[in-house]
Structure 1
């Protein structure tokens, strides 16, 4: 059984889950529209607007340090990374 409480505490998992949920919603809407069950269609301008908004949110989250490097614990750089003169 999936422990949802633990998964929702992991910000990386939540961000991945939400982005995949949006992709599924887009696919479902497209499928329902092609079957004639829904008259709403995602036009290119709507898709571009949504993509621009999502990109802006991810840039903001990255700048705030909320999207973190999964190879380190917490939100700071590891001691090893702080000592680098050049990237490995």
Structure 2
């Protein structure tokens, strides 16, 4: 399994998508919406609640797996072209 983490984390869109991928199943499962997260304490409480629930944790892991996999390649690795990138492709 080879993933070009350096390039992925240099792309702000990837980071934003990763955060949304982790939060969306939690919000959907708990029935909350974005406007319910008005303080950092509420975000922390939600994360503790979510990650102490095995079912919800599995949902988040599946969502993250789907976000990280490259559907244009076999398996879980980036393509050989993507592995050669030094920065996100323009």
The verdict on a shared fold, with TM-score over 0.5 as the criterion, is no
- Structure holding more helix per residue: 2
Structure 1 length-normalised TM: 0.32
Q: Which has the higher contact order (CA 8 A, sep 6+)?
A: 2
